[in-house]
Amino acid sequence: MTPAFSVCVYCGSKPGASPEFARTARAVGRWIGEHGGQLVYGGGKNGLMGILADATLDAGGRVVGIIPTALVEKEWAHHECTELHVVETMHERKRLMAEQADAFLALPGGIGTFEEFFEVWTWRQLGYHDKPVGLLNLAGYYDPLVSFLQSTVRQGFMGDWQMDLIRIESDPEGLLRELVQAAGLAPAARVEQI
């Protein structure tokens, strides 16, 4: 069955210091699965990435994992994904992830997450795609980044219009719904798993 929407989620390959991060990664995966969606992600089993994928699968969602050969062992590739693509390079991974998604969402994570989020944001600014991009500012995790970005506007290196290209929210379900709707799609009616 064709998924109602496909969302590419970037997040930490580590679980983070607070249990709230894992709880929210689980809630995001559950929401995607329960609303007939497909998760596209980096294909790893570690940290928030694995928690997110497992929760999507458990809730009946499709999971497309895309991982470079060099990371199959390091990130512990998730072989239970609905589709697992092992690709040659990081560039190929990111291109495939971007192609398969209707929208992008970054959860808390480290530099890999930042790099992926900034890439799809800059691609959006350049007009390479017009898919919505969201940043989940869970428990204030991204407050320092948001302050820094606002300061780059004040310092004249970025315009307000660039900030307006991303959606920054603290509520995961509200942000997911907004991203899916901004992509011109609708989440399926909630399906309870038994």
In angstroms, what is the minimal distance from the CB of 48 to ligand AMP? Answer: 8
CB atoms under 10 Å from CB of 99, counted, come to 12
In angstroms, what is the minimal distance from the CB of 44 to ligand AMP? Answer: 5
Instruction: Considering the complex, state which of residue 26 and residue 94 has its C-beta at the smaller distance from ligand AMP.
Output: 94
Closest by CA position to 176, among listed 19, 16, 53, 32: 32
Instruction: Considering the complex, state which of residue 36 and residue 108 has its C-beta at the smaller distance from ligand AMP.
Output: 108
Instruction: Considering the complex, state which of residue 113 and residue 187 has its C-beta at the smaller distance from ligand AMP.
Output: 113
C-alpha 101/C-alpha 104 separation (Å) is: 7
Cα dihedral 109, 115, 121, 123 sign: negative
C-alpha 125/C-alpha 137 separation (Å) is: 21
In angstroms, what is the minimal distance from the CB of 145 to ligand AMP? Answer: 13
DSSP assignment letter at 69:
G
Instruction: Considering the complex, state which of residue 94 and residue 131 has its C-beta at the smaller distance from ligand AMP.
Output: 94
In angstroms, what is the minimal distance from the CB of 4 to ligand AMP? Answer: 25
**Binding stretches for ligand AMP (CB under 6 A):** 12-14, 42, 44, 71, 75, 90, 94, 109-113, 115-116
Match 């907004």 to its residue by tokens.
178
**Nearest residue relative to ligand AMP (C-beta):** 112
Token pair listed for 77: 């590739």
Instruction: Considering the complex, state which of residue 32 and residue 120 has its C-beta at the smaller distance from ligand AMP.
Output: 120
